[in-house]
Structure formats: structure tokens, C-alpha cells
């Protein structure tokens, strides 16, 4: 089973992807995480994309398609791939179609996490992640444990993303509506689009996604 999680910044894609990794042995392919890794380890590509990411603009199609191509070639898929934050443009979507076709892997579902802008601002403003394992927290809806230790790995190192500020978020939302939202029509026409209510509680969203993945239709 290979799926795309589609939705604006803060919709809950990463949170849901991690749950699928834990419960279904799926493999999360997050271009955002890959780009942040490149930036943190100071590679040439990482240096090139740092400013673009800080502003909340999209990195070039060429770079992210290259990252995904490498993963599809090198990484065993276990329970299937979860594309998280990719594709974000029509060019990326058609490139992914080609890559999957060449690898003989189907795309089974594109799951849209529906949310509204007010919720996104609140989610991004409260987001933090474990610096060691990447577990996602929220100041209000999923607070860091009182003992200061990550529930998953026990690390005490928590991070906030440099681009989780209001100005960058506004830009990321515009990029989403201009360049990524056309993918909803693209996948609808391919009869792959499924929608879930991303405003529901984390557990309920998990249940809705599980229902889609368990539905053979």
C-alpha cells in the first residue's frame, strides 16, 4: 500500500505518518525532513535550500524529485510508502507517477487532511518536535510530558522549527493554495482522492485513515 498524505502546513501529515510507521510498518518519505537533514548536515544542497525554506517558499522540483528518486531506489518499502509533503506541484505529481510506474508500484490512495486556516495558525504556533526521534508535540493538544522526557525515546531535547513563525506560515499557505491545491483535482480525476476531517482529534483522524486503508475498494 502506497499513499500520499496531502494537506497544508500543520494539517497533521507528519503526526499521522508516524502513526502508520508504528502500526503498519510503512515507510515515511517526508521531503521536509530530508531537506532539514541536508540543511543541518551542511551539504551543498542544504546550503542552497536554507533561505528558501526559511521564507516558506518551495524548493525546486528538481531537488525534491531527486530526493524521492533516491529513496525509491534505495529504500525497501516494508508495508508501503507514505509520501508526506510530496508532491507539492503538478510537475512533482507527474514525476512521482513515472517513478512509481518504473518501480512497478501502485499509488493506492491520496488522503486529504481537511483543515482551516485558523486551526493551522494555532497548530504551527504550538508545534515542537523531539530533536532525537522526531515525535511531534503541540503545546495545547499534545503537550511535552511533565517529566521533560520524550514519550517515544526519553530524550530531553525538543526543537521548534525556524520556519514556524507567522510570516513564513502565511507564505507557506499561499504556496499551498497556489501550487499544491491543484493536486486535489488531479488526484480526484485519477479516482485516488479520499478526504478525512483533519480538525478531528488525532485518534479520530487515525481511525478515519485506518478505515480507508482497510477498505479494499
Task: Give me 138's grid cell.
Answer: 503541540
What binding mask, one character per residue, do residues 148-167 give for Zn ion by CB under 5 A, x or -? Answer: --x-xx-x------------
Asked if residue 4 binds Zn ion (CB under 5 A), the reply is no
If we measure between CA atoms, which residue out of 66, 64, 102 comes closest to residue 85? 64
**Is residue 161 flagged as an active site residue?**
yes
What binding mask, one character per residue, do residues 132-161 give for ligand ADP by CB under 6 A, x or -? Answer: ----xxx--xx-------------------
Provide the edge-to-edge strand list for the sheet that holds 127-130: 136-138, 127-130, 158-159
**Is residue 55 flagged as an active site residue?**
no
26, 38, 58, 150: which one binds ligand ADP (CB under 6 A): 58
Which positions from 69 through 88 interact with ligand ADP, judged by CB under 6 A?
Answer: 85-86, 88
If we measure between CA atoms, which residue out of 169, 135, 144, 166 comes closest to residue 14? 135
135 binds, among Zn ion, ligand ADP, none (CB under 5 to 8 A by kind): Zn ion
Least Å from the CB of residue 129 to ligand ADP = 7
27 binds, among ligand ADP, Zn ion, none (CB under 5 to 8 A by kind): none
Contacts of 17 (CB under 8 A, 6+ apart): 5, 26, 28, 30, 82, 84
- Maximum alpha-carbon separation in the chain: 49
Active-site amino acid positions: 13, 88, 127, 161, 172
Amino acid at each position: 500500500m502506497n499513499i500520499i498524505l496531502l494537506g497544508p502546513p500543520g494539517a497533521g501529515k507528519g503526526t499521522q505518518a508516524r502513526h502508520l510507521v508504528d502500526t503498519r510498518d510503512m515507510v515515511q518519505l517526508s521531503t521536509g525532513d530530508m531537506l532539514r537533514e541536508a540543511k543541518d548536515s551542511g551539504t551543498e544542497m542544504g546550503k542552497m535550500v536554507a533561505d528558501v525554506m526559511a521564507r516558506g517558499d518551495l524548493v525546486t522540483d528538481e531537488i525534491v524529485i531527486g530526493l524521492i528518486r533516491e529513496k525509491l531506489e534505495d529504500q525497501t518499502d516494508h508495508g508501503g510508502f507514505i509520501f508526506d509533503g510530496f508532491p507539492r506541484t503538478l510537475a512533482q505529481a507527474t514525476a512521482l507517477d513515472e517513478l512509481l510506474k518504473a518501480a512497478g508500484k501502485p499509488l493506492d490512495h491520496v488522503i486529504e487532511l481537511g483543515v482551516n486556516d485558523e486551526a493551522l495558525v494555532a497548530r504551527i504556533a504550538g508545534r515542537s518536535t523531539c530533536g532525537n526521534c522526531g515525535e511531534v508535540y503541540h503545546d495545547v493538544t499534545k503537550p511535552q510530558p511533565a517529566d521533560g522526557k520524550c514519550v517515544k525515546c526519553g530524550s530531553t531535547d525538543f526543537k521548534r522549527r525556524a520556519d514556524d513563525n507567522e510570516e513564513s506560515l502565511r507564505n507557506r499557505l499561499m504556496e499551498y493554495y497556489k501550487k499544491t491545491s491543484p493536486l486535489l483535482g488531479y488526484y480526484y480525476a485519477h479516482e485516488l482522492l479520499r478526504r478525512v476531517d483533519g480538525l478531528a482529534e488525532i485518534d479520530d483522524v487515525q481511525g478515519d485513515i485506518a478505515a480507508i486503508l482497510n477498505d479494499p475498494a
